[in-house]
Chains A and B, each alone.
Chain A
Amino acid sequence: MSQFVYLSFDGLSRGAVYAAFALALVLIWRAARIVNFAQGAMAVAAVYAAYSVTAATGSYWLGFVVAIVAGLVLGVTVERVVMRFVDHSSPLNGVVVALGLVLVIQGVLGIVYGNEFRPVPTPFSRDAFEVGGVALLSRYDVFVFAAVGAVVLALTLLFTRTNVGLRMRAAAFAPDVSRLLGVPVGGMLTLGWALAAAAGSLAGILVIPTELGLHPTAMDGVFVAAFTAAVVGGLDSPIGAVAGGLVVGLLLSYVSGYLGATVAPMAVLLLLVVVLLGRPGGLFSTTTARTA
């Protein structure tokens, strides 16, 4: 029982990270109809930037801020320099270009930083609190919940309560009509990429210290988990992405805890297959088509 409680909290903590990352995927999907397969690599790049700054200044928090800013900058750059020029007549085009970016980013990071795993510090202890002899969650888990919660809240407010959010939604749903109403659609798209990449970077800097460490391919597994989370929630649904993230986090935690850590990726694959084939459109939507 105590293990179950511990695994549940651990799973929710991981799930929060997947939720943030899945949310980033959903943001771009909604805005541009592209699943950003380069998101993991972009997040790793942002975390490397943070790593450099932390190493130079000794400040985790400065690095943290740099990671988010680097995410914003990368998002803008990728959209303005590359993705804007992708032909959208086939959904494969965007996927292939994003995969090309994965190679570029991972290669550049390998050249600059080398291909060894680098340990990344956490700002808070990862030792779990114990209540009545049962390990619950650590200070770091609390930090993760707070950070992801703040981002989800901020994005929700942005999209539902602000004029910019209204413009972004309109530009995503109906680009031509929005332009006729004076909405700078291109700018909104860039902003969407920037915000998504920043959310992805946040997920990166939260999750990488808890795994093997910093490496150009460090987010490959996280990408698959978060993609699964986004599919579970329905690629069009931000709320679904958050819920899906928590579901996948819990699943991974239970599987790792009871069956062994090496089984976890297979469990994710299984979940992905089951959802894709069994519940087209995700668990939280009524869509029936799976034809992007």
Chain B
Amino acid sequence: MTRPSVRESRDAASDVPRGERPRSLRRLAPPAMILAGALVIVGLSFLLPPFRNYQLATVGAYFCVTGGLTVLTGLNGQLSLGHGALMATGAYTFALAQNRWLSLPVSLVAAIVVTTVAGLVIGLAAARLRGPYLAGLTLAVAVVVPSVTSTFDEIFNSDQGLSVALDPPPGTIPVEQWQAWLCWAGALLSTSLLAVLVRGRFGRDLRAVRDDETAARLAGVDVARTQVAAFVVSAACAGLSGALFAVLAQSVSPGAFPLTLSLFLLMAIVIGGLGSLAGALGGAFLLVALPTLAQAVAEGTGSPRLEGNLALVIFGVVLVVVMLAAPGGLASIRFRRRRTS
């Protein structure tokens, strides 16, 4: 005992809350969640006009990837700026498979599988990196997408991208309504699986690794394995999301997956309250609602340059303000979620 108590006191003062659980998820069993969600979506899809249905579908497609990113960044503490690139992987795989076999289930599975493998590769590297190094590496991945599509242009057709062959919706269902069903089927299935995963031992390991790697290791958690697993799970979700975006746009191109997409996703989960799937849903909603709002403002003021850019500014300002307003940054955003949920 040679240290005065000052250090201990200081640690106690700056103590960060640990070990929270997303309790909101525990209230509803996944099957019930799926059923309730599906009922709401199907009901909504009959009420909404086509364009709103398209937006509803987009929220669903975003929800897949924000759910996965929440598990990675919120629960496991790994920051990825490469999820836009992973979505591109899913989207291109889907497009290529679809144009060859024209089978929606086959193409979706192919998209998920290929993106999962890509996620495994990045995750293996990511497990050895921390903080800004991981952010920098995944940023490099995000920026490399156009380069890949241009280098292998006989497959990916460089900047123009590929159009996606799609069967018409079954029966007389309007295409937007069909898209909404499809995207939300994917969203509800993937996020329910995530909910099941994070409720169990895996979720506990994720949080343990995030909060204190050394302590987690001492408690018998395989840190690297947990981190890779988090990346893989979250990549699978991004792949599905990318495929759904390919369905929505009926085309894929590198311009649809810019670096800003990855930044948007990050903003969505931070604002949604890192670490809860309900927050991921809120974030996905914002990703559609904010640009729509900005678009309305842009049209109202008659300034074409506001279009798109205003949304950037709003997203950026919100992200910065939320980060600065929350004492303790990301950790306290998680804390607040716990107390309110």
Contacts and interface: CB of A to CB of B under 8 A. Distances in A.
Interface of A (DSSP majority class)? helix
A94 B135 CA distance: 11
Interface in B124-138: 125, 128-133, 135-137
Given A227-B136, A291-B131, A93 B323 contact: yes
B140 A227 contact: yes
Contact of A273 (B135, B137, B146): B137
B312 interface: yes
Contacts of B216: none
Which of the listed residues B139, B318, B326, B331 has the most CB atoms from chain A within 10 Å of its own CB? B139
26 contacts: A82-B324, A86-B324, A89-B16, A91-B132, A93-B323, A95-B79, A95-B131, A95-B132, A97-B320, A99-B81, A100-B267, A100-B323, A102-B263, A103-B319, A106-B260, A110-B312, A115-B309, A228-B140, A260-B151, A262-B151, A262-B158, A265-B144, A265-B147, A272-B140, A290-B130, A291-B131
Contacts of B270: 96
A12 interface: no
A105 to B, nearest CB: 8
A213 interface: no
Given A93-B329, A224-B139, A107 B309 contact: yes
Given A86-B324, A99-B319, A104 B313 contact: yes
Contact of A277 (B14, B128, B303, B306): B128
Contacts of A82: 320, 324
A142 interface: no
B150 interface: yes
Contact of A111 (B263, B313, B320, B331): B313
Contacts, number: 178
B3 interface: no
Contact of A89 (B266, B319, B328): B328
Nearest to A34: B132
Nearest to B325: A85
Contacts of A100: 267, 315-320, 323
B41 interface: no
B259 A220 contact: yes
A163 to B, nearest CB: 31
Interface in A204-263: 217, 220-221, 223-224, 227-228, 231, 260, 262-263
Interface of B: 14, 16, 77, 79, 81, 125, 128-133, 135-137, 139-141, 143-144, 146-148, 150-151, 158, 258-260, 263, 266-267, 270, 303, 305-306, 308-320, 323-324, 326-332
A272 B313 contact: no
Nearest to B149: A262
Given A37-B139, A87-B329, A269-B140, A290 B129 contact: yes
Nearest to B151: A262
Given A99-B266, A291-B130, A111 B323 contact: no
A292 interface: yes
Contacts of B328: 87, 89
A182 to B, nearest CB: 23
Ranked nearest first, the 8 interchain pairs of A and B with the lowest CB-CB distance are: A107-B312, A103-B316, A104-B316, A93-B329, A100-B319, A110-B309, A91-B131, A107-B313
Interface residues of A, number: 55
Contact of B319 (A96, A224, A228, A264): A96
A224 B320 contact: no
A276 interface: yes
A37 B305 CA distance: 25
Contacts of A195: none
B324 A292 contact: no
A101 interface: yes
Contacts of B318: 100
Given A82-B324, A91-B131, A269-B144, 4 more contacts: A85-B324, A92-B135, A268-B140, A291-B131
A231 B136 contact: yes
A22 to B, nearest CB: 12
Contacts of A92: 77, 79, 131, 135, 329-330
Contacts of B317: 100, 104
Given A86-B323, A273-B125, A103 B267 contact: yes
